[in-house]
Structure 1
Amino acid sequence: MTDLHDPRFATTLARGLSVLRAFRVTDDGLSNAEIAQRTGLPKSTVSRLTFTLGQLGYLVQSPRDDRFRPGPTLVAVGHVAAASLSFLVPAHDLMQRLAEETGTLVVLAVRDGDKMVLIRTWRPMHVASIWLEVGQRIPFQPFSSPRAFVAAATPEEIDRIVSESIADRDAMADLLTTRPLVRTEMMRQGFVSTPAGSGPAAYNAVSVPFRSGNLAEPVIFTCGALPSEASVERMQSDVGPRLAAAVRTLERLTGQAPGLIRTEA
């Protein structure tokens, strides 16, 4: 649980990190006002933080438009973090091949607070696919990745998530209510299938959890496609089993345990 009142909690550091998390791959720089809007911090606070982060090399400010962009220090830290996730190396070829064979977008999502954030994408060549980018955040609602994550999380992990600041507690309650059914679905067929909804989930998707020894929680591999490109039936009969097989292969290559904990006390 994040205890903001704990005397050990460094509020200024937390605010600085929230500024860094405000940036997305598709951004062409952000102004202080835009960062303030995304973080909910006062603009005066953001100005001090961006100045400090700029002095330390985590951000750079363009003299052309005064907008801030990730700096070399932040890029270096990101490369170190990515390198620590050793499973990404064998996952790359497996998931790129899966994207090509199925014509779907393959993404890797991890939990970031009350959202799932995409940290890798694999696109099929010469095939139009849904447009999701690294850094995009998916709320904890009944979408494919959050459903698979909640189903794969242990009771202890669930308690930790629920104790944190979840913006949409009704949606989280729905995910917890359907968790037993989703777990049964994944144990029976190896993946969870979620039909297209509306808004950010207007695509058919299948998801499979993966557990890495480098991370405290499961991560989620997902294949997604527009309904016009891949029907629910094809996602369930073809894409889902292929994704499950790819993740099982990744587990064997990396010596990791199954992503779904099959027994609970």
Structure 2
Amino acid sequence: MDDYTVKSVDKAFWLLEVVSDHPDGIAITELAKRVGMYKSTVHRLLGTMMRRGYIEQDPKTGRYKLGYTVLDLGIKLLSSIDLRREALPYLQELAHLSNEVVHLALLDRGEVVYIDKVESANTIRMHSRVGTRVPVHATGLGKAILAFLPRREVQAIIDRYGLPKLTEHTITNRDAFLQSLQETRRTGCAFDIEEHQVGVCCVAAPVFEHSGRVVAACSVSGPSNRMGPDRLRDLVPLVKEAGRRISERLGYGDGAARARG
């Protein structure tokens, strides 16, 4: 076994793979026999995965099967792959028109995850990278997504993750934050004025899929000495248009109505 392999994690994934081959569920005794582990070890690993939603136990038969977290991950993977492919031409165009760095991100477990990035021709580069996770409340991307989620989902995210202060500009008051989301929903764009990182500003717009649910956001980011109020105002229609066009590519026919022009 590779020196870098964590044995308990490797065993958990092995169990997950075996369980996935049994859509009607598998008994713990049979599962332990299949993987060659002690029943007590299998029970502990299954318990951990059940708490995370990766495994479920049928209350009637006691058999174990895949949980909906696995489905959720698969859907997110497929969505992100399709989303990146469909969005890329518009991200590239936005980077060309703005001459700044462009990001595409989605929401995952209370954080924003960058799933694509297009560098500009400008010499000053952003240190962000694809796969980076950042707090949802302190980014234009996060606020552009939250503003179009059901209020109960937003409240649940705030309750769980809070509004921690990252810079002196971070909005940490719940009422003020919710008010900023209302403004984003009204205008169709969100701003990050050094709220996540000192010296960096951003303007973002939501991206909707065919059912009308917000699934991502796109943004233009740059150093605050280039991204003053006038510059941000000029970028708003470009970012919103990119979000609208990506939404249309995802089958959302009323993107323009949600990201108002």
TM-score w.r.t. length of structure 1 = 0.59
Whole-angstrom distance in 2 between the partners of 1:254 and 1:182: 24
C-alpha contact (below 8 Å) 1:100/1:123 kept by paired residues: no
Q: 2 CA distance for matches of 1:126 and 1:187?
A: 32
Kept in 2: contact 1:104–1:225 (CA 8 A)? yes
Amino acid at match of 2:200: Y
Runs (5+) with no aligned partner, structure 2: 18-72
* TM-score between both structures, scaled by the size of structure 2: 0.60
**Residues 103, 258 of structure 1: alpha-carbon distance in 2 compared, 3 angstrom cutoff:** same
Determine helix, strand or coil for the equivalent of 2:137. coil
Please state how far the C-alpha of 1:167 moved relative to its aligned partner: 5.3
Corresponding residue of 2:87: 91
Asked whether the equivalents of residues 123 and 129 of structure 1 are also in contact (C-alpha less than 8 Å), the reply is: yes
What is aligned with 2:207? Answer: 210
8 Å contact from structure 1 (residues 152, 183) kept in 2: no
Aligned to 1:226: 223
**Higher Rg of the two aligned structures:** 2
Task: Quote the offset at 1:118 in angstroms.
Answer: 1.0
- Kindly state the Cα deviation for residue 136 of structure 1 after the two structures are TM-superposed: 0.8
Query: Which residue number corresponds to residue 11 of structure 1?
Result: none
* Alpha-carbon offset, residue 231 of structure 1: 2.7
Counterparts of 1:93-132 in structure 2, within 5 Å, are: 93-125=89-121, 127-132=123-128
Distance 2:183 2:111 in 1: 24
Residues 180 and 261 of structure 1: CA distance in aligned 2, closer, same or farther (over 3 Å): farther
Assess if the C-alpha contact under 8 Å between 2:204 and 2:217 holds in 1: yes
Distance 1:226 1:97 in 2: 20
Specify which of 153, 157, 167 is matched with residue 153 of structure 2: 157
Question: Percent identity at matched positions?
Answer: 15
Maintained 8 Å contact 1:103/1:129: no
Q: Is structure 2 residue 44 aligned with structure 1 residue 48?
A: no
The separation in 1 between residues aligned to 2:81 and 2:4, in whole angstroms, is 32
Assess, with a 3 A threshold, how the Cα gap between structure 1 residues 112 and 253 changes in structure 2: closer, same or farther.
Answer: closer
Q: 1:201 to 1:120 in 2, by over 3 A?
A: farther
| Residue in 2 that maps onto 1:183 | 182
Retained in 2: the 8 A contact 1:96–1:122? yes
Describe the SS at the equivalent of 1:200: coil
Superposition deviation, residue 204 in structure 1: 1.0
Decide whether the 8 Å contact of 2:217 with 2:243 is kept in 1: no
Compared CA separation, residues 51 and 136, structure 1 to 2 (3 A): same
- Uncovered stretches (5+) of structure 1, i.e. residues with no partner: 1-29, 33-45, 58-76
Please give the alpha-carbon distance, in whole angstroms, between the structure 2 residues aligned to 1:215 and 1:136: 26
Aligned to 2:191: 193
Superposition CA RMSD, Å: 3.8
1:144-195 CA distance string (max 9 Å, x none): 22222222212243244346x325578896355432344335523x312232
Partner of 2:161: 166
Contact 1:85–1:214 (CA<8 Å) still a contact in 2? no
